[in-house]
Amino acid sequence: MDAIAFASAPNPSHAPFTSASSSGAHRFSVRDPWRRRWRLPLPALRSQRLEPASASHHDVVVVGAGIIGLSIARHLLLHTPLSVAVADAGVPCTGATGAGQGYLWMSHRTPGSDTWELAVRSKQLWEELAAEVDGLGGGGARERLGWMRTGSLLVGRTSEEMATLEERTKALSQAGIRAEYLSAASLHALEPELYVGHDGGAMFLPEDCQIDAYQAVSLIEKTNGSYSSEGRYMELYNDPAVSLVRSETTGTVEAVQTSKHILYGRKAIVIASGAWTRTLLHSFLEPNPILDIPVMPRKGHLLVLEKFDKLKLNHGLMELGYVGHQVAKSNSTLLPSESSEDEHGALSISMTATLNTKGNLILGSSREFKGFSREVDKSILKCIWDRAAEFFPTLKNVHLDINENTEIRIGHRPYMPDGKPVIGSVPDLPNVLIATGHEGSGLALVRALYKSAPVSSSFISYCSWS
């Protein structure tokens, strides 16, 4: 399997890799409660009094052990001779990675958009990984990745939404994605318990899949860990990065200081700390408005009902209104099914529903700007439940007790105002690279970041691709 590749074309500012997260979201159970470069002033590192710490030397140091950071490490370990260290303030899957639904869908992607090629390549690479795992036996991809080819249904309930779905179906089909436009009657045959009214219907993508993030991360960690005995891999969890260390002779960043260690990176330092990236860089660098990455934490709730047998669900579902939340507000028109939202905390709810390999029903999803709050808001959970019941009338007759066989996931998506991930090197610190801003698509965009991938417009004037 491939993963993130930084060097499809050399960057003149630094040599390609050739030789030798801070946590985002929190996963609760209610039972245990970012081609042209401008010459910029050299960013000033904050001076800190460093306590004595153990030092280790690596080719690449990755700050952040979410799906992005761990996949960067995996790719380098599998496809280069480089050594890698990964540090995180928490442990894997206590960030945004562990708080999502795990879908690898193309239904809400738009052909020709900035992230289209990225998403297509990403899906292909997950498919290759699943096939590779199936070839190993021992339960295969379903058992070891939580892999399910459920297909996805993007659902509409009005004539306006159906016109949008018909156009989207044509566009995806022309782009080589197997997509079908379904009337209400045809949709009912696939999902008998789903109600969309006489004017409704859906777009069906039978090849869409989903995984379990915990199982996928566990598999990646096992692969990475297998290089420890060669001295090529080190992981440091519950060990937050506190500063960058600059060489006294060259002025370049040479190490990351964590709470317990100094991690020297001969080739690169990669910051892949999700929604925490902006905060982390502020702690590393003196204030500089040009270098300010506007990544924000976009909080979300998911409701997980364990071994839920009161609703039969055959595919993954998402209402069309969800698509509007994947693009910049300034570049889109609100769809009829969208709730209003702003950057001052207003809530939006869009129906998403999946079943995992354990038979758990996962309902979502909410979006709001509440800083890094980890509080469970029971009123939001009720909104998610009520929204789902509009599509699944059976749920109206089911009493929801969130204290009974229920898990609540709270996540902070790394949101960028223009809807594009931020990937590239920091000006005048060419060995410091950033990978963040994937919003709710970390799993679906993580597998392939290459030369043609989008750079956030916020950074286009001063970031360059490696």
Nearest to 104 by CA among 239, 261, 213: 213
> 87, 42, 28: which is closest to 291 by C-alpha?
42
Q: Which helix (H) or strand (E) holds 265?
A: strand 261-271
Report the distance separating Cα 55 and Cα 410, nearest Å.
35
Residue 409: partners with Cβ closer than 8 Å, 6 or more residues away? 25, 27, 28, 98, 99, 100, 301, 302, 304
| Over residues 318-337, mean pLDDT | 52
Q: How confident is the model at residue 43 (pLDDT cuts 50, 70, 90)?
A: low
Strand order in the sheet with 26-29: 26-29, 406-415, 296-305, 361-367, 348-355, 316-319, 152-156, 201-205, 180-183
Q: What length does the chain have?
A: 466
Given this model, what pLDDT does residue 51 score?
A: 52
Q: Quick check: 333 pLDDT over 50?
A: no
pLDDT on residue 32: 28
Lowest mean pLDDT among 341-350, 405-414, 432-441: 341-350
Is the pLDDT confidence value at 29 over 50? no
pLDDT of 289: 64
Give the per-residue pLDDT at 418: 84
Full set of structural domains in the chain with CATH = 150-209+296-415 (3.30.9.10)
Taking the C-alpha atoms of residue 143 and residue 215, their distance in angstroms, rounded to an integer, is 8
Mention every residue, 6+ apart, whose C-beta is less than 8 A from residue 203. 107, 153, 154, 165, 168, 169, 172, 179, 180, 181, 182
Supply the mean pLDDT for the chain.
Answer: 80
Phi, psi angle pair for 128, to nearest 5°:
-65, -40
- 3-state SS of 28-92 is EECCCCCCCCCCCCCCCECCCCCCCCEEEEEEEEEECCCHHHHHHHHHHHHHCCCCEEEECCCCC
| Res. 249: pLDDT tops 70 | yes
